[in-house]
Amino acid sequence: MRRGRPFPPGNGGRPLGSKNKNTLFAASLLERDHEALLRKALELAKRGNVRLLIFFLNRLLPRDRLISFDLPEIVSTSDARGALQSILVAVSAGVISPAEGASLAALIAPLLHKVAGNPSSCDLIPSLANHLQSPEE
């Protein structure tokens, strides 16, 4: 074998999906002592280890809160406009945060843009069906 080519032709090394020896060793250590390690990490976090505390909180707390927000059924463009208005009112009243309002509006706004090219259309469902059947090029 030449230098820089540790494996013969046709042998690319470890099979796909197989683990590195160090990874296997670390996994075997964790397998035996994972409960003790977890208890110790929690104990250190409770004692003020900020990095471990952040680690646990990032994994335990959801990134986004679930919100319960009533929107009208959206069948036409006027319904979509009404839903966007409802979102705006909820944000201004403090019911939902501006980021949550933006996320909700981002779900509805594309519906208005899909039918914007067809001003005579007032129903979203047929307009979207036509758009899907004949995609823009």
In this predicted structure, what is the pLDDT of residue 117?
55
CA distance 87 to 81: 10
- pLDDT score at 118: 54
In whole angstroms, give the CA distance from residue 23 to residue 90.
50
Contact present, 91 and 97 (Cβ < 8 Å): yes
Residues whose CB falls within 8 Å of the CB of residue 65, separated by 6 or more in sequence, listed in order? 100
Mean pLDDT by 10 residues, the chain (137 residues): 66 74 83 84 89 84 77 83 91 90 88 60 50 48
Task: Specify the pLDDT at position 47.
Answer: 92
Residue 116 has a pLDDT of 54
Half-sphere exposure of residue 105: CA atoms within 13 angstroms, side-chain side: 16
